[in-house]
Structure formats: C-alpha cells, structure tokens
Structure 1
C-alpha cells in the first residue's frame, strides 16, 4: 500500500534531523552489516 506523501515527507525530515544531530553514529549503524 502506498505511503501518504505527507507521511513520507515527515519521515524524511525526521531522518534528516537524526543525521544532523549525530550523523556519525547513524551512519555507522547503517553501515554495520546485519
């Protein structure tokens, strides 16, 4: 089911805030192999 546009934008803003606050831990977590 498609995600509502406003939800997507809100999610993107939240992710950007996380990257701006502490992009090093976030990027390290993303690069860690599952």
Structure 2
C-alpha cells in the first residue's frame, strides 16, 4: 500500500474521529485490521 494512500486514510480517520469528538488509536487500529 503506497505511503501517501495510508497517510490519507489516517487523516480521514482522524478527521472523522475529531468531528465525532472521539479519539482512540485502538479503534483506528481495529479499523485498519479489518481493511
């Protein structure tokens, strides 16, 4: 997976988490594992 793509996914995940008022690296890791 290209680095720029991974970075973009990270940014979107953090943006969504920020809008939800929810920040949990563990939750993000789980999402990446499913992908």
- TM tier, smaller: 0.5 to 0.7
Larger radius of gyration: 1
Structure 1 unpaired stretches of 5+: none
* Count of residues in correspondence between the two structures: 24
Using the size of structure 2 for normalisation, the TM-score is: 0.57
Using the size of structure 1 for normalisation, the TM-score is: 0.58
CA RMSD of aligned residues (A): 1.8
**Deviating 4+ runs (over 4 angstroms):** none
Structure 2 unpaired stretches of 5+: 28-35
Question: Bigger relative contact order, structure 1 or 2, given CA contacts below 8 A and separation 6+?
Answer: 2
